[in-house]
Amino acid sequence: MCGIAGLYNWTDPPQTMAAQLSAMCQAIIHRGPDDEGIFVDRGVALGMRRLSIIDVAGGHQPIFNEDGTVGVVFNGEIYNYRSLRESLIRRGHRFATNSDTEVIVHAYEEDGPDCVKHFNGIFGFAIWDKRAQRLVVARDRMGVKPLYYMQTKKGWAFGSEIKSLLALPSAPRTLDLDAATQFFRLGFVPAPRTLFQGIQKLPAGWRLVAERGKVQVQRYWDLEFEQHDSFLSFDECAEQLRSVLQEAVTDQMVSDVPVGAFLSGGVDSTAVVAFMRQATQHPVRTFSIGFDQQHAYHNETPYAEAAARALGTTHETLIVRPQIADLIPALVEKLDEPLADTSFLLSYLVSELAHRHVKVALSGVGGDELFGGYRRYFTPLMNKSVAWIPLGLRRALGNGLQEWLPADRGSVLGNLCRYGKSLGRTCALPIGEQYLGLLSVLSKDLVRSLFQTKPGTSDPGEELITLYDHAPASAPLDRLAYVDMKTVLPESLLLLTDKMGMANSLEIRVPFLDNRVVDLMRHIPSQYRLRGFQLKRLLKASLKGVVPDFVLARSKRGFGMPIGTWLRSDLRPLVSHLLDPQRLAKDGIFDPSVVRHIIAAHDASTEDYTEAIVALLVFEVWRERFGVRLP
């Protein structure tokens, strides 16, 4: 695992380019503390910071082909590199190393930019073809690895993190107001936008091809659901899924350094650890996060420890306390952009714990999206169940429900009421709009009133509705999964997983998003994954006899923390400082009265505005730490 950076069609002299590239690499040294490599060639420069995982001694980058005309810098892992290597050797290619990186170079010699279609892995890489004067930059299919780029007066620049781009004097530090409204609507910014004007994300499954000064951004893969009436039975699918998951986990354990896993005691993480246990004769090291007894609803320690005992792992737990307020500024800087999902705090802490013992950790991220694990996936069923009620009456009942129920994610009852309020707000909407309402941090009207400079009238979350309407799938569940896997998953969950792991120089792998698993699931009927109110139906069936029964019987629980409660108590000083009305009025971004309303409603438990308040806090921290200017 590494961090990469580069310049293209750059106008500065080579010595200046080398110095600038070195600064870009130093900005992401946490991604690769083991090694640095820099290459400069007539307006093009490639750089990397390396975290040595495979071929520790021989994997120095950039890596070139036999005659030095094609070179690559690479962040990630190619899990099928051994079979690709054998095929390339049969075609006459000669390898100088045992690393997966070198496979990319020779695969490019065979297939040009389309080589990316052959890789099963997590990656962001850049290839320089000296003969064709072509640069190819690519991000993996599911977006596990982040990649950013920008155009300036001096040329194009790219990097694994925004910080590497900001190391350049010409980098913009101006707020994109449209992206900011998306952030407060969704809790993240969908690709290709970022909160910085002029800096873009390369979307998951896309590549950038630059040739003779011209740059094109192209999609090379899309998640297409193709169900067949003659597909396998439910039991046959469960058996096939079990086999594919075992292969994916086993292959992703390949490493020349110690490997461990995150274990919460839920179905996804326990499945990963169980398959790891089958693949090795040695105890697996596992790590989890817990809370003290006053936050029992969020504390997963008993479940994780029970799963660890059942699977015979060497397990460690970290108890988290409210002092995490001290971490927020540093972690927001590591993220590059703010996120409303507070699991970035937990991801950092469990990664820090794991890094004390291992250099690679496997995670169950992606299981909810792929196998139907979110309650919001009940939307089609709920929509159908109330369709017989006249629209006006449905709307009136929903409004009454949301006004009457309290909301607090700190208890079972409060959390159920929170879901009930969300359903009340959205029960009269079409499925795509209802899904957006369930996912949103703030309503479109509240987002509009939040900003002192009023944004346009369109819904900043309408991109998700458009994705739902045009998804390459027929079943509503597949459409919802498509939206999640194109937006929330890569630009929030995977982003925080990568950034928080790399902040600790820890590589995190996600077996559920292996090409083989994704390709199987997109051909399986949606009712196999979720039927009625049975979440993860097929996954649980496939894990019978692999995962302990008490784990399979456990009800759904998110990877959360008692941040909502802490915002009313231990984190109140941070809220009072950053969201002080006089401070907000002076800055000129947010309407102080709207912020006061959000905080007061949360304190009274009439609304759960945990994510909204977190979004405001991390946004203010981000703006200060990065010196972001208003347009």
Active-site positions?
2
State the sign of the Cα–Cα–Cα–Cα dihedral 547, 318, 188, 571.
Answer: positive
8 backbone dihedrals φ, ψ, rounded to 5°? -140, 140
Specify the DSSP class assigned to residue 473: -
**DSSP strand pairing (214-219 vs 206-211):** antiparallel
Residue whose C-alpha is closest to residue 55's, from 95, 13, 89, 101:
101
Per the structure block, which two tokens stand in for 121? 């892995």
Q: Give dist(CA 65, CA 84) in Å, integer.
A: 15
Q: Give dist(CA 265, CA 271) in Å, integer.
A: 9
Whole-angstrom Cα Rg for the chain: 24
Per the structure block, which two tokens stand in for 107? 């695969």
Map residue 459 onto helix, strand or coil: coil
Q: Give dist(CA 74, CA 94) in Å, integer.
A: 19
Length of the chain: 631
Q: Which residues contact 449 (CB under 8 A, 6 or more apart)?
A: 591, 594
Per the structure block, which two tokens stand in for 601? 């409603």
> What residues pair up with 531 in beta bridges, in sequence order?
534
Q: Give dist(CA 22, CA 159) in Å, integer.
A: 12
Per the structure block, which two tokens stand in for 449? 């009133």
Helix, strand, coil abundance in the chain, percent, nearest 5: 45, 15, 35
Map residue 452 onto helix, strand or coil: coil
